[in-house]
Amino acid sequence: MFYKRLLCTQTSVRHHPHPNQWPIKQVTKSNFSKELEELKTHISSSDFVAVSLQKTGGCSVPWQRILPFDTADTAYLKAKTAAERFQILQFSVCPFSIKDSKLIAHPYNFHLFPRDELKVGLPSYSFSCQSSYLTSMAKQGFDFNECIYNGISYLSRAQETATKVQIGNMSHNSYMVKSSSVHSVADSVFMERIKSRVKSWTNACKTSNKTEDALISSLRKLILGSELHGSRPCLNIDVCSERQIQLALETLKEFVDVVPLRVPVKGGGMQAVRVVLTSSKEDKILFEKELQNKEEEQNKRVRGFREVIDLISASQKPILAHNSLNDFAFIYSKFLTSLPPTMDDFRISLHLIFPHIIDVNHLMKEIGPFEKINNIPAAISYLKNRFFAPVDMEIPNQGEANINNIHGNNVLKICQLFVKLCTILKISSEVSEGDGIQLSPSLQCHANKFTPCSNSSEEPIDKDVGIWTGNNRRVGINNLVFMWGFEGGISANKLKGLLHDSHEVFSQEYDIRMVDKTCAVVVFWNPGFSELFLSTMDSARVISDKLKDLISGGLRVTGYETYKKVCEKSGLRRSNLAQCLDEALEEETEIFLEAKSREEQSLIYWNNDETINLEEL
C-alpha cells in the first residue's frame, strides 16, 4: 500500500507544467451526467465540434499502416481491422466557435473503459493493446487506474437494440407510429377486433369505478384480461408480428386516454402491446412524462458515453478530426454498429450520421502536399515557421478543471490548427444554420475527405495511387507488382541490383519500395510491363538464368488484387506481408483446384450416365 502511494505521488510529480496549459475538463463516471448536460448546451451553441481519440493501438505490423499506395478501399480495410481490434481509452470533444477571429473552445476529455455495466457481456469481450501505445500514454502521465476503475462505459446503437431485448424493458414509442398505407382484409379485421376490445374494456373500467360491486368488477376485469400498470389499469393485447404491433398502435391512436406500450419478451421478439388507461388528459401527460423520464434514465445507464456521440450526431454540426478515416472507423465500430465491408458503404452510412466531417490533415495537404507532416505538433510548427496566423484562444467557464492535466489537449490543437489553416487558405469558417447546417462553399469542398493520400477533388479515384509520401507521381494500381521471397532485410537498392538484367522489363524505368522487411512493391512506369512480368513469372517460358536463380531461391510475385484480398482478410493479417501474400495465393490455387475438381466431377457424372446407358443396352 505504502509503495503504491509512493508511485502515485511520482505520477503527479511527473506532470511538468506545460508551456501551453489549457484547462480541459476531465470526465469520468462520477461527473459524467453533470458534464453531459453542460456539453449539450455547448454543442448547440457552437459552430464546430472537434474530436480526438486516444487508442490502445494502431497497427501491429508495419505494412498495416495506411501506405501511399493504398487505395481508398484498402486503406479503409486497414482502418477497419484496427478499429475492430483496439480500444478507445480517451475521447476528447471540443465544441468551438470562431467569433471575430477568436477561438472560443469548450474542451472535454472523457475517460472510457468498456466495462460490462449491465452484466450482459457488452460492449466488448476483449480488446488488444500495443505496449508502445500504452508506454507513450504513460509518458504523458496518463492515469490508467483512473481510466480502468472509473472510465465511462458505453453501448453501441446496435448493441443497445440487442440488449433491449435481453433486458426486457417496456418501451413507449410515440415516434414510430405512422399510418401505414394499405390494409388487407385480415388487417382490418384485426384492427376492428382490437378497437372493440379496447373500447369495451375502457368502458368497463370507467363504469366499474362508479356503481358495480367489487365482485362483478373484478370478474369483468378477469374476463377482459385487465391488470394494473402501476396504479393505472392496463390491458395486454397479444400480437405475433411486428406488423400487428404497428396495426395495434395505429388503432390505439384513436383512443385519447390510453397510452400504448410495447412489451418485449426476454430473449427476443415482441409479444404484446400493453394498453394503459389514464384517467384524464392531465393524467395522460403525467404518465407519458413519467415514462419518458424512466426511459431517459435507463438510456443514460445503457448508452453511457454514447450519449455524447448521439448529441454530436443530432446537432449535425461539422466535426473536425485529424486522420479522420481511422478515428471514424473507431467511432463507427464502437458506438454505432459493426463496420460495413467496403469503403463506399462506410462512407454512405457515416454520412447519414455525421454529414460534415473535416479532416485537418487533409487541409494540411492543401498547403504542403508533399510534406511528411502526419502529426499535429509537426503541422503546427510547420505553419508557425512559414505563415503568420496567430490564434487567440479563449476557454470560458472551466472553473474546476485541473490546469496541470494535459490529457486531451490534442483536441485543442486540432481546433487551433483548423483556425490557422482557415486563415491561411482563406477559407470562410462561417456556418449558416438555415435549413440544416450549411458550410461555406470553400469549406464544403474539403468536407468528408477520408484518405489523405487522394489529392484530387473526386473522392473515388481508386485506380491511381502514390508510392512515396513525399512524391506526387501517381501510378495505376495495375502497374504495381508485389515481390517477396528474397533475403530478409535487404535494401531497395540491393534488390534493384539483384533484379538488374534479369528480365527485359527491368531495362526500362521502374522503382522499388520496401513495404516491410519481407516484401517490396515494384512500380513499372511503362504500362503493360507489370502484366508482362507477371505472366513471365507464371509461365515456364524461357527466362534468363538470373531470374531462374531468383525464382528457385524462392522469389514470388503477385498483382494488386492479391494485396487487396490480404487486406480483406482481417483475421489472418497478423504476420509480415510476405507470409500473408503467400497464404492468399495458396488459397487462390486451392479455389482454382476446386473449380478444376468440379469440372472433373461433371465429367464423372457424364461417365456415370454413360454406364447406365450401356447397361440398359
Partner 1 sequence: MTKQTLVRALTKFQTLTRSLCTSAATSDAALKNVTKSNFEPVLAELRRVVRESDFVSIDLEMTGLTSAPWRECFEFDRPDIQYLKVKDSAEKFAVVQFGVCPFRWDQLNNSFIAHPHNFYIFPRQEIQGDGLSYEFLCQTSSMEFLAKYKFDFNACIYEGISYLSRSQEEEALRRLDSVYKDELVDPSSNLREVAETELVRMADILYAERMKNKISDWRAGLLRDRNCGSDFQESSVDMNQKFRTTFFKLRPALAVDGLTSRQLRLIKLVTEKHFKDLAYVHVTGEPSGLQPLIVYTDSIEDRDMLMREVKACRRKEEEMKIKAAVGFRHVLDLLSSERKLIVGHNCFLDLAHIYRKFFGPLPLTAEEFVSAVQKYFPYIIDTKVMLNSNDVLLRIMKRGSTSLSKAFHLLCSQPPATLTSSGLPNAPRVKVEVQVDDQRFSNWNSGAKHEAGYDAFMTGSIFAKACCHLGIDFNPDVPTVDLLHDEKLQKYVNHLYLSWVNENIIDLKTGKIAAESLGSTNNKRQNLKILFQNMVLLWGLTSKVRAKEFRDCLLKVYGTGSVTSIYHLDDTAAFVQFSKAEFVSKFLELKDNLERVNDPISILHPLSKLLEAGCVCAADYEIYKEICSSPISELLFTDQVEAIGLKLKTRLELAIEIKRQEEYKINSFHFCEDRKDMDPETNATGTHSSCHFPGDELVDSLFPVEARMSK
d(CA 70, CA 67): 5
CB nearer partner 1, residue 514 or residue 543: 514
Question: Which span (26-34, 128-136, 281-289, 545-553) binds partner 1, by CB under 8 A?
Answer: 128-136
CB nearer partner 1, residue 286 or residue 593: 593
352 class by beta-carbon count within 10 Å (0-12 exposed, 13-18 middle, 19+ buried): exposed
* # binding residues, partner 1 (CB under 8 A): 68
Find the DSSP H helices in 140-265.
144-150, 157-163, 185-208, 214-224, 242-252
* φ, ψ at 95 (rounded to 5°): -70, 135
Binding map of partner 1 across residues 166-205, x = CB under 8 A, - = no contact: ----------------------------------------
Q: Going by C-beta distance under 8 Å and a sequence separation of 6 or more, which residues neighbour residue 21?
A: 403, 404, 406
Query: Could you say whether residue 145 binds partner 1 (CB under 8 A)?
Result: yes
Neighbours of 143 (CB within 10 A): 19
Among the listed residues 17, 434, 441, 571, the single contact to partner 1 using CB under 8 A: 571
C-alpha cell at 177: 407510429
What does DSSP assign to residue 452?
T
Bond from prior residue into 68 cis (ω within 30 degrees of 0): no
Among the listed residues 174, 223, 241, 268, the single contact to partner 1 using CB under 8 A: 268
Find the DSSP H helices in 304-367.
306-315, 324-331, 343-353, 360-367
Among the listed residues 9, 508, 535, 607, the single contact to partner 1 using CB under 8 A: 607
CB of 92 to partner 1, least distance (A): 20
Closest to 79 measured CA to CA, from 306, 328, 446, 372: 328
CB of 241 to partner 1, least distance (A): 14
In DSSP terms, 319 is beta-bridged to 49, 357
Residues 49-108 that bind partner 1 (CB under 8 A): 56-57, 59-62, 87
CB of 537 to partner 1, least distance (A): 23
CB nearer partner 1, residue 231 or residue 493: 493
Query: Could you say whether residue 11 binds partner 1 (CB under 8 A)?
Result: yes
Among the listed residues 493, 539, 540, 541, the single contact to partner 1 using CB under 8 A: 493
Residues 196-255 that bind partner 1 (CB under 8 A): none
Closest to 537 measured CA to CA, from 562, 503, 580: 503
Query: Could you say whether residue 265 binds partner 1 (CB under 8 A)?
Result: no
Among the listed residues 34, 45, 116, 471, the single contact to partner 1 using CB under 8 A: 116
CB nearer partner 1, residue 130 or residue 298: 130
Q: Check residue 224 and give left, alpha or beta (phi > 0: left; psi -120 to 50: alpha).
A: alpha
Residues 291-310 that bind partner 1 (CB under 8 A): none
Closest to 154 measured CA to CA, from 275, 377, 330: 330
Query: Could you say whether residue 144 binds partner 1 (CB under 8 A)?
Result: yes
Q: How far is CA 363 from CA 128, 359, 418, 452, in A?
A: 31, 7, 8, 9
Query: Could you say whether residue 126 binds partner 1 (CB under 8 A)?
Result: yes
CB of 179 to partner 1, least distance (A): 31
CB of 272 to partner 1, least distance (A): 18
In DSSP terms, 237 is beta-bridged to 273
User: Where does this chain bind partner 1 (CB under 8 A)?
Assistant: 1-4, 7-8, 10-11, 56-57, 59-62, 87, 113-116, 121, 124-132, 134-135, 137-138, 143-145, 147-149, 267-268, 489, 491, 493, 569-572, 574-576, 587, 590-591, 593-594, 597, 600-601, 603-604, 607-608, 610-612, 614-615
